[in-house]
Chain A
Amino acid sequence: METIKLTIDNKAVEVPKGTTVLKAAKQAGIHIPTLCYMNMEHLGIENKPGGCRVCVCEVQGRKTLVPACVTECTEGMDVKTHSLRVLNSRRTVVELLLSDHPKDCLTCLKSGRCELQALANMMGIREIHCEATAAMSTYRKDASPALIRDMDKCVMCRSCETVCNDVQTVGALSAVNRGFMAVVAPAFEQELTDSPCTFCGQCVAVCPTGALTEVDHTPKVIRALADPAKTVVVQTAPAVRAALGEEFGYPAGTSVTGKMAAALRALGFDKVFDTDFAADLTIMEEGTELLDRISRHLQGDKSVRLPILTSCCPAWVNFFECNYPDMLDVPSTARSPQQMFGSVAKTYLAKKMGIKREDMVVVSIMPCLAKKYECQREEFSVDGNPDVDYALSTRELAQLIKMANIDFRSLPDEDFDHPMGESTGAGVIFGVTGGVIEAATRTAYEVFTGKKLEKVDFTELRGLEGIRTATVDFNGTPIHIGIAHTLGNARKLLDGIKKGMYNFHAIEIMACPGGCIGGAGQPLHRGNSSFIKARMEAIYKEDAGKPIRKSHENPEIIALYEDFLGKPLSEKSHHLLHTHYFGHPKK
């Protein structure tokens, strides 16, 4: 490989041709501050508009300073990353950004995690020179059911735009307006609810400032907890336990299931349940639907739509409703685990506990921001009373725990309550890409073949590649499976199917990179993917440690069918656990 020799701050560096100054400096142990630059290595996508000009450096012989993030190293280059000229320019640039930024840091949701704040602190900026006359660029606030856009805080780093367009291919966000009023927004500065936004929230996950945040449900939850007339039950999604610990100083990949249950109980939730239980329930319904379609297909029924698509991911549901209105009968009609849980809790459980539906509040803890939208969809409510009242993100739960003065690290491990707290390893792996289809395969195989599964782990379905395909042998019948994570990969897969390129029986799609573990409600990552693998390992470890690893063997699920639902795809199931889709996103 051709290499380039250069010096950075008098250090000799040798890098492969094509390396940027920023990366060469990193290799030499020199940290050049950045703001707009974002490297999503796991997705092979870099956001480097070269716009913020925070990373400017001095290169001998060049007339102007150069941005390290987009300048390629050349032979003999002599780079200075902290000369007086560089420091003055960098400081002035950050000051300019601050001069057009609200000063409500004390109450900003991103306080302490804001990259602009960190930069200002690093530069030691104690005064903004032109502040007295500085006008601010202000915009209408946009609050959707899940995401909030406060573009007064936008620094035009374009990370959200890159994620929305290049990763998710949703196309809801792009730069609009000129000059001082330039900002990232939906076309024609529409509100998000009128745009193709799926509420996947990946824009929030990468926003360096408080410009993009989630709708905060914590005050409502606190009020419900304080209301003696209400029975507040909580469900926790599989991916939450693999990431919550990060907010309390645990390394990524530390599973904190027991402490999480203890913390929720300490917060005053009346019942602490597990969404993993509902995930097992989803497998029963979706798996049966899959088998039904495959069996009919094999019998030559031409009306069967294959492949069946998973429908657990609310952003994915929004995406296909908006982009593939002609394929609405293809996805499984099974509701997501969150919604199955809510609907079973407010019927089966409420009856069992002897309380009225209206007196029960269902809260979910989700790695996801689209769940906030999903629980507000009209079809998931009865007479205006939603099946799931509030969806908190992993970050919001951490906030609640901190707010309530609970010393998370010293909590004992506690178990979930019953009867909706028992789950199998199959329910746990819903949290990673490929997990839902693996869980479904475990059950479908045994039901279809009538044989006991020798090896529960379908490693061929695992991994982090954007699009994966595998064929599972169902006792002589090959079942073709496709898996995609990120909506961009979902689009590729779906367009391929429409063109007849693939011949799948079943496809799993998750909107977020890595699946729910990379969800937008998880501890913020700004494109850094190093944690994804660790969280994934934590999930598979949790699965491996479960005594039961197949959904249909979950005793509480078996009891639920015996006592209440009858059998999968029964009339009651259809009523409580299935849904239908809308050609135009119902927002």
Chain B
Amino acid sequence: MYKMQLLVCGGTGCRASASAQIVENLNASLKAHGLEEDAQVVTTGCFGFCEKGPIVKVIPDNTFYTQVKPEDAEEIIAEHVLKGRKVTRLLYENPKTQEHVADSKHMGFYQKQIRIALRNCGFINPENIDEYIARDGYSALAQVLADLTPQQAIDMVKQSGLRGRGGAGFPTGLKWEIASKNSADQKYVVCNADEGDPGAFMDRSILEGDPNSIIEAMAICGYCIGASKGLVYIRAEYPLAIKRLQIAIEQARECGLLGENILGSKFSFDMELRYGAGAFVCGEETALIHSMEGSRGEPTFKPPFPAQSGYLGKPTNVNNVETYANIPVIFLKGPEWFSSIGTEKSKGTKVFALAGKINNVGLIEVPMGITLREIIYEIGGGIKGGKKFKAVQTGGPSGGCLTQKHLDTPIDFDSLVAAGSMMGSGGMIVMDEDDCMVGIAKFYLEFIVEESCGKCTPCRVGNKRMLELLEKICNGKGNMGDLEQLRNLALVIKDTALCGLGQTSPNPVLSTLDNFYDEYLAHVQDKVCPAGQCRALRHYFINPDVCTGCTLCARNCPVQAITGEKRQPHTINQEICIHCGVCYQKCKFNAITVQ
């Protein structure tokens, strides 16, 4: 038994910051100090606190070292492991009090979190199935196989109130029940790991940090619906997740947890991976299935639903990674326990990828019903640089922008939809006063236009036309008719697009039109971008009282828009100016103002 364990984050983010080297150095220092028997270094999955990575956590005392560099390894071993003294300079510093926080239990980032889907991320070595088993791994599967009929197991999932975490929030137990009732010689369990929202990485983190939980859940699902084959559709850009999943599958097979007659039962189940090329639309379940079949990844009309006719025309249950990650816990702790967390219609927790203008960027798991205010100001540590909060975008490109007035809305599936956004897969991007909401809508639309499959007219052409209108508005060429046209297009696309992605693609436009109409008006009527982000709407002027006539701006202007005599105040010809801002950057006397 080791007295101490050093958990080093091996997620993609921390690895990019040399966490593998940290592990190596820690091991070398342990050896140099002869401490190999006392302490163990473990590479784990993501801790979620990516803002401050790479993370090294020491247990049992929960010391949480942030932004660790490989050269810090020796000090951690020499001081903390050998002498029992924490390395204060590496501890997390509370941004409000500037005090160092001794352990993770006292960090604001973790205090409001409940980690169910992420329960093992940052605790176990994802490449060692024994560590998963040691934390009750596969005992849910064992319990289901030994004690429950498929219907009893489905009933437990139904009682838990778990809803799909991929976006739409369809009740998981009901989905399983439908698939179980459709009889066929072969059925399939599919895990949707085609995480495509910009900035979202919860599925990747789960697969990197706790791949066995997905295998266990898929096997349970297979037992429930009567499928012997599981498929994980994962994007090829997730090499680490793929590798760890492959290792986990291999180890599960060796342990008899996958394959024929699992744990001595009559149930057989095995799984394999299918790689996606990273198309956003392949996160839509029918498109995903077509892609797995080797066809063009584009959606088809539902019904038939995959539960009726899915992969190769057979009944198929498709759930998202995070949904599966919740399954074993429901059996271990009971559906009552699970449904005690959350709101009336949204049970359990939700993982969000917190990003944007916020202090604590990272991956968080919070109970349903928590407010945006708690997430942003307590877990997220408030807005960066003390700026003013403006909006939060949830649900990725399919979601909408919520504002100040929504800060105290409890977050769950239904309240987000009621507020004009959606849960989506869990992207949460915070914006401050410097963000232009028209520009934000344009950003998401650019993504949609790039990622539309092109099958249906509204999404293929309509979104392109909306983008062109937004570009026109941001360039100061918009008129009131364009706003009307924008709204009409958005509503028609919502009403007529073929798949869920197309139908929700106008949400960023609609929600910003609803919540930030005055910003649109400013762009269209006053030709002004209140946030100063739209370049074409920025106007530069030279304050004659401050200008010294040094000519630096005139010499750097790429279009010769600035004229004036030496040592005399200069002027900018607004008709020639291209709003590039070079003069503003070059002026040493702050003589140039932006309006």
Q: Which residues of A contact B (CB under 8 A)?
A: 49-54, 56, 64-65, 67, 70-72, 85, 88-89, 92-93, 96-97, 99-100, 129-130, 133-135, 155-156, 174-175, 177-183
**Chain B residue at minimum C-beta to C-beta distance from A183:** B454
Given A64-B495, A64-B496, A180-B449, residue A50 in contact with residue B300 (CB < 8 A): yes
CB distance from B36 to the nearest CB of A (A): 53
Judge whether B469 and A178 touch: CB under 8 Å.
no
Judge whether B301 and A71 touch: CB under 8 Å.
yes
Q: How far is the CA of A282 from the CA of B496 in the complex (A)?
A: 55
Determine if B158 is an interface residue (Cβ-Cβ < 8 Å): no
Contact with A along B461-472 (1 / 0, CB 8 A): 111110011011
Given A174-B296, A179-B452, residue A89 in contact with residue B495 (CB < 8 A): yes
Determine if B494 is an interface residue (Cβ-Cβ < 8 Å): yes
Among listed B219-227, B326-334, B388-396, B485-493, interface-contacting one: B485-493
Residues of B within 8 A of A53 (CB): 456-458, 496-498
Given A50-B498, A93-B496, A178-B450, residue A129 in contact with residue B485 (CB < 8 A): yes
Judge whether B454 and A175 touch: CB under 8 Å.
yes
Residues of B within 8 A of A85 (CB): 495
- 6 cross-chain CB contacts under 8 A: A51-B457, A92-B462, A93-B492, A97-B457, A100-B461, A178-B450
Residues of A within 8 A of B456 (CB): 50-53
Q: Which residues of B contact A (CB under 8 A)?
A: 279, 296, 298, 300-301, 303, 449-465, 468-469, 471-472, 485, 488-489, 492, 494-498, 503
CB distance from B195 to the nearest CB of A (A): 18
Residues of B within 8 A of A156 (CB): 454-455, 457, 460
Q: Which of B455, B460, B461, B498 has the most CB of A within 10 A?
A: B461
CB distance from B452 to the nearest CB of A (A): 4
CB distance from A20 to the nearest CB of B (A): 11
Q: How far is the CA of A51 from the CA of B449 in the complex (A)?
A: 16
Q: How far is the CA of A471 from the CA of B273 in the complex (A)?
A: 52
Judge whether A179 and B496 touch: CB under 8 Å.
no
Q: How far is the CA of A465 from the CA of B455 in the complex (A)?
A: 33
Q: How far is the CA of A96 from the CA of B456 in the complex (A)?
A: 11
CB distance from B377 to the nearest CB of A (A): 35
| Apart from the given pairs A178-B453, A180-B454, 4 other A-B contacts in the complex at a CB distance below 8 Å | A89-B496, A93-B458, A133-B468, A135-B468
Residues of B within 8 A of A182 (CB): 452-455, 460
Residues of A within 8 A of B453 (CB): 178-179, 182
Q: How far is the CA of A88 from the CA of B488 in the complex (A)?
A: 9
Going nearest first, the 9 A-B pairs with the smallest beta carbon separation are A182-B454, A179-B452, A96-B461, A133-B468, A92-B492, A70-B301, A180-B464, A50-B301, A130-B465
Q: Which of B460, B472, B498 has the most CB of A within 10 A?
A: B460
Judge whether B492 and A175 touch: CB under 8 Å.
no
Residues of A within 8 A of B296 (CB): 174-175
**Chain B residue at minimum C-beta to C-beta distance from A93:** B457
Judge whether B498 and A51 touch: CB under 8 Å.
yes
Q: How far is the CA of A99 from the CA of B461 in the complex (A)?
A: 8
Residues of B within 8 A of A51 (CB): 455-457, 498
Q: How far is the CA of A446 from the CA of B485 in the complex (A)?
A: 75
Q: How far is the CA of A285 from the CA of B496 in the complex (A)?
A: 59
Judge whether A72 and B452 touch: CB under 8 Å.
no
Residues of A within 8 A of B496 (CB): 53, 56, 64-65, 89, 93
Q: How far is the CA of A42 from the CA of B485 in the complex (A)?
A: 43
**Chain B residue at minimum C-beta to C-beta distance from A48:** B301
CB distance from A68 to the nearest CB of B (A): 11
Q: Which of A67, A70, A180 has the most CB of B within 10 A?
A: A180
Q: Which of A92, A93, A134 has the most CB of B within 10 A?
A: A92
Given A65-B495, A71-B301, A178-B450, residue A134 in contact with residue B457 (CB < 8 A): no
CB distance from B457 to the nearest CB of A (A): 5
CB distance from B482 to the nearest CB of A (A): 8
Residues of A within 8 A of B449 (CB): 179-180
Judge whether A180 and B492 touch: CB under 8 Å.
no
Judge whether A177 and B454 touch: CB under 8 Å.
yes
Residues of B within 8 A of A54 (CB): 457
Residues of B within 8 A of A71 (CB): 301
Judge whether A178 and B457 touch: CB under 8 Å.
no
Q: Which of B472, B488, B496 has the most CB of A within 10 A?
A: B496
Q: Which of A50, A52, A130 has the most CB of B within 10 A?
A: A130
Q: How far is the CA of A521 from the CA of B461 in the complex (A)?
A: 32
Judge whether B469 and A130 touch: CB under 8 Å.
yes
Residues of A within 8 A of B461 (CB): 96-97, 99-100, 180
Q: How far is the CA of A96 from the CA of B497 in the complex (A)?
A: 13
Given A129-B485, A130-B469, residue A135 in contact with residue B498 (CB < 8 A): no
Judge whether B458 and A64 touch: CB under 8 Å.
no
Given A99-B465, A135-B468, A156-B455, residue A179 in contact with residue B495 (CB < 8 A): no
**Chain B residue at minimum C-beta to C-beta distance from A130:** B465
Judge whether B457 and A52 touch: CB under 8 Å.
yes
Q: How far is the CA of A156 from the CA of B498 in the complex (A)?
A: 14
**Chain A residue at minimum C-beta to C-beta distance from B499:** A50
Residues of B within 8 A of A99 (CB): 461, 465
Q: Which of B303, B451, B453, B464 has the most CB of A within 10 A?
A: B464
Q: How far is the CA of A65 from the CA of B492 in the complex (A)?
A: 9
Residues of B within 8 A of A49 (CB): 300, 455
Q: How far is the CA of A467 from the CA of B465 in the complex (A)?
A: 48
Residues of A within 8 A of B471 (CB): 133
**Chain A residue at minimum C-beta to C-beta distance from B494:** A64
CB distance from A223 to the nearest CB of B (A): 41
Judge whether A88 and B469 touch: CB under 8 Å.
no
Residues of A within 8 A of B455 (CB): 49, 51, 156, 175, 182
CB distance from A65 to the nearest CB of B (A): 5
CB distance from A571 to the nearest CB of B (A): 52
Q: How far is the CA of A259 from the CA of B506 in the complex (A)?
A: 59
Residues of A within 8 A of B303 (CB): 72
CB distance from A220 to the nearest CB of B (A): 37
Partner among A67, A135, A179 whose Cβ is within 8 Å of the Cβ of B460? A179
Judge whether B465 and A134 touch: CB under 8 Å.
yes
Q: How far is the CA of A70 from the CA of B449 in the complex (A)?
A: 25
Judge whether A89 and B492 touch: CB under 8 Å.
yes
Q: How far is the CA of A129 from the CA of B451 in the complex (A)?
A: 24
Residues of A within 8 A of B451 (CB): 178-179
Q: How far is the CA of A71 from the CA of B451 in the complex (A)?
A: 26
**Chain A residue at minimum C-beta to C-beta distance from B486:** A130
Residues of A within 8 A of B450 (CB): 178-179
Judge whether B492 and A88 touch: CB under 8 Å.
yes
Q: How far is the CA of A456 from the CA of B518 in the complex (A)?
A: 85
Residues of B within 8 A of A89 (CB): 492, 495-496
Residues of B within 8 A of A155 (CB): 457
Q: Which of B458, B489, B497 has the most CB of A within 10 A?
A: B458
CB distance from A182 to the nearest CB of B (A): 2
Judge whether A134 and B495 touch: CB under 8 Å.
no
CB distance from B25 to the nearest CB of A (A): 45
Partner among A96, A178, A183 whose Cβ is within 8 Å of the Cβ of B462? A96
CB distance from B412 to the nearest CB of A (A): 19
**Chain A residue at minimum C-beta to C-beta distance from B295:** A174
**Chain A residue at minimum C-beta to C-beta distance from B481:** A129
CB distance from A464 to the nearest CB of B (A): 29
Partner among B301, B472, B494 whose Cβ is within 8 Å of the Cβ of A133? B472
CB distance from A36 to the nearest CB of B (A): 9
Judge whether A180 and B494 touch: CB under 8 Å.
no
**Chain A residue at minimum C-beta to C-beta distance from B297:** A178
**Chain A residue at minimum C-beta to C-beta distance from B489:** A92
Q: How far is the CA of A336 from the CA of B444 in the complex (A)?
A: 58
Residues of B within 8 A of A70 (CB): 301
Q: How far is the CA of A51 from the CA of B452 in the complex (A)?
A: 13
Q: How far is the CA of A133 from the CA of B464 in the complex (A)?
A: 10
Q: How far is the CA of A137 from the CA of B355 in the complex (A)?
A: 35
Residues of A within 8 A of B300 (CB): 49-50
Residues of A within 8 A of B452 (CB): 178-180, 182
Q: How far is the CA of A72 from the CA of B465 in the complex (A)?
A: 31
Residues of A within 8 A of B494 (CB): 64
